[in-house]
Amino acid sequence: MSALIGIDLGGTKTEVAVLGGQGQFLFRQRLTTPSDNYQAILDTIHALVEQALDATGVARPVAIGCAIPGCLDPDTHKVRGANTLVLNGQSFQADLEQRLQCRVPVQNDANCLAVSEAVDGAGLGAAVVFAAILGTGCGGGIALGGKAWQGRHAIAGEWGHNPLAWPSAEELQVPPCWCGLSGCLETWISGTGFARDHAFAHGGELSAVHIVQAMRSGDKAASQSFQSYLSRLGRALAQVVNLLDPDCIVLGGGMSNVDEIYPAIQAQMLPYTFSKTVRTPVIKALHGDSSGVRGAAWLAR
């Protein structure tokens, strides 16, 4: 396999990477995303790609993959649902193809995580990978046979705005989600949701990282919040198993770094899966922050 180039357009950083035939990094470079200026975003990506080609001597490829924090609407081919708002409504793919003079397959960043982990990450060899990003928000993506499965409306896997399943009476008392609904998973199992719930139950304004630190130091309130978090994540993943029954579930985003999740999560899922013999592995993403750019590069195959 020849070298592959991927771009990860994030809300704060834009990264380009060149992968060699064994999936090794030949080059990677990041710049701040000029997130309030669409033309400047195109300029940044263009500059990064030219830099990558110059530095590696790789010939201009026929395709360069790109991960975005949103999706391309299959009907209009314009960006939809991006939290980098200037992207929404833009013919991003066509504009980028014109600038880079090659084909640019574009995918949602959670789908890129799923692809990256299915090709040579924690989901290596798994035919069906469900990937969840548990960070500021809560995204999900699916890879089938190592390829992104985006669905009819490019929302396959986006279960973050489904409601928390089997809620207790207390769990029905939540503030509305930014999406206009209430009770969404994102309100609970994103890092932001974890911190919100801890503040509601115990006061203070600790970040998710600080709550986890407090739990490890034996803080009772933090432990309680984490147990609630595990229960909610278990219910959320049980729904994924009931609907998709993937060969493995990969977790990315800030909360995926909480190692205490992994030995405990199966027991939280099992009461809610339709079969009691479910053994779906739930694994931390192998490539961490690089999953977006690696998955984007694999799109160019």
Q: Is residue 177 close enough to count as binding Zn ion by CB under 5 A?
A: yes
- C-beta of 163: minimal distance to Zn ion in Å? 9
* Span near Zn ion by CB under 5 A; candidates 46-54, 71-79, 149-157, 172-180: 172-180
Per-residue binding letters, 132-171, with Zn ion (x by CB under 5 A): -----------------------------x----------
Q: Is residue 179 close enough to count as binding Zn ion by CB under 5 A?
A: yes
- C-beta of 177: minimal distance to Zn ion in Å? 3
Of 98 and 182, nearer to Zn ion (C-beta) is 182
- C-beta of 160: minimal distance to Zn ion in Å? 7
Of 85 and 181, nearer to Zn ion (C-beta) is 181
- C-beta of 181: minimal distance to Zn ion in Å? 5
- C-beta of 186: minimal distance to Zn ion in Å? 5
Among 72, 110, 126, 184, binds Zn ion (CB under 5 A): 184
- C-beta of 176: minimal distance to Zn ion in Å? 8
Of 90 and 136, nearer to Zn ion (C-beta) is 136
Residue 178: phi and psi, rounded to 5, are -60, -20
Size of the site for Zn ion (CB under 5 A): 5
Q: Is residue 124 close enough to count as binding Zn ion by CB under 5 A?
A: no
Residues at the site binding Zn ion, with contacts judged by CB under 5 A:
161, 177, 179, 181, 184
